[in-house]
Amino acid sequence: MEKNSTYFGVKEIARRANVSIATVDRVIHNRTGVSEKTKKKINEIIKELDYQPNILASRLASKNIIILAVLIPRVSEETDFWEVPLRGIQRADAEIKQYGIQTIPYFFDLSDKDSFVTQARLILERGVHGVMLSPSFIEQARNFTEECQKLKIPYVFIDSNIPEQRSLSYIGPHLLKSGYVGAKLLTYRMKSNKKVLVVNISKEIENYNYLQIEEGFRSYFNDNQMGNEIVRIDIKETDYLSVAKHMTSVLHDHTDIEAIFVTNSRVFTVATFLKNKNKNNISLIGYDFIKENIQYLNEGIIDFLICHKPEEQAYRAVMALYQTLVMGGSVDNIQYMPIDIITKENYEFYQN
């Protein structure tokens, strides 16, 4: 692990040494009750991680509270994807709150840009020291982070990126390669040059995520000189009836579509449509390890799910702010997450 992963703190040292947090604390503060062998092992890990206990001691003595704001979508009736990053935020908060750090969540509605603006304004009015956010609405996120820059508030992006915005770090998938992997998976079952359908289901179609993922997807066909026509539809109304209406229309106009790639976690709505229409001959791939998707993966309607460990993304983002603001260290500007491939056979063993 990189040296800048010092922000994992006492808990990570304890995990690596296979001892309790209390034992690590004894070594850090040079207390008795720890064997020489264990003390040596812990000190080696402390050195490896470039851990700085004196800074933490000063934080414990300080009465100044460091406030971190988290700006992410709220869980909706349509998808529970954002429950998972929230777990990562809560895990990080449990580790750092003892050092006088307060993590405050602010939730916006994925169907309402104004709700993002409202929550962003509340964050700026609160006077926070750092921000973690998902830039789901590009223009609004750009405006918000420009204000953060003026106020010298560091911010970290998760799940999606706005490269020109000079964030402290982007923690998420390599979107081009993720789309590329999706195309490679989708072509495994294809036996002809029939059409492929790319489906974007989002209020914010011009989201950086979807554009990069689709570009990566198309690159695979170009690189491998595959002649399949790629049809694209954008569905801005995210409820099932709207999705079904668009899917009915596109499959009527393009009867030779053999495979479908959905660029986000709403792949289950397309799976529902295919199941209702008994179109089991069409391959289907999408994103994210959520219960609705797992159901259709288990039924064999979704062939593969691509996942990027959203809980770990959020955890790392909070800890990156902690590393910068408390430890005085640096973090990598880009931290790519794994591109995990989930199937009917392995989903029971996967952790987000």
pLDDT band at 1 (very low <50, low <70, confident <90, very high): very low
pLDDT at residue 211, rounded to an integer: 87
pLDDT of 47-67, one tens digit each? Answer: 887 776 666 666 665 667 899
pLDDT at residue 57, rounded to an integer: 61
pLDDT at residue 306, rounded to an integer: 98
Residues shown for the chain: 352
Nearest to 287 by CA among 270, 271, 307: 307
Angstrom distance (rounded) from CA 237 to CA 210? 16
Please check the confidence at residue 3 and state whether its pLDDT lies above 50: no
59 vs 210 pLDDT, higher one: 210
pLDDT at residue 4, rounded to an integer: 40
Q: Which structure tokens are listed for 126?
A: 């609160």
Contact criterion met (CB below 8 Å) for 109 and 270: no
Residue corresponding to tokens 């986000």? 264
Please check the confidence at residue 305 and state whether its pLDDT lies above 70: yes
Residue 282 DSSP label? S
Domains present along the chain, CATH in parentheses = 3-51 (1.10.260.40), 64-172+309-337 (3.40.50.2300), 175-307 (3.40.50.2300)
| 8-12, 74-78, 292-296, 348-352: least confident range | 8-12
33 vs 348 pLDDT, higher one: 348
Q: What is the dihedral of CA 96, 166, 48, 95, to 10 degrees?
A: 10
pLDDT band at 327 (very low <50, low <70, confident <90, very high): confident
Mean pLDDT of 272-293: 95
Distance of CA 137 to the CA centre of its chain: 15
Please check the confidence at residue 7 and state whether its pLDDT lies above 50: no
Contact criterion met (CB below 8 Å) for 101 and 130: no
The set of residues, in sequence order, having a beta carbon less than 8 Å from that of 168 and lying 6+ positions away, is 130, 154, 155, 156, 320, 321, 324, 331, 333
pLDDT of 77-131, one tens digit each? Answer: 767 899 999 999 999 999 888 888 999 999 999 889 999 999 999 999 999 999 9
Distance of CA 199 to the CA centre of its chain: 20
* pTM of model > 0.85: no
Distance of CA 149 to the CA centre of its chain: 23
Contact criterion met (CB below 8 Å) for 157 and 137: no
Angstrom distance (rounded) from CA 2 to CA 336? 13
Q: Which structure tokens are listed for 110?
A: 């994925």
Contact criterion met (CB below 8 Å) for 93 and 76: no
Contact criterion met (CB below 8 Å) for 77 and 42: no
Q: Which structure tokens are listed for 63?
A: 């009465």
Contact criterion met (CB below 8 Å) for 199 and 233: yes
Mean pLDDT of 16-28: 87
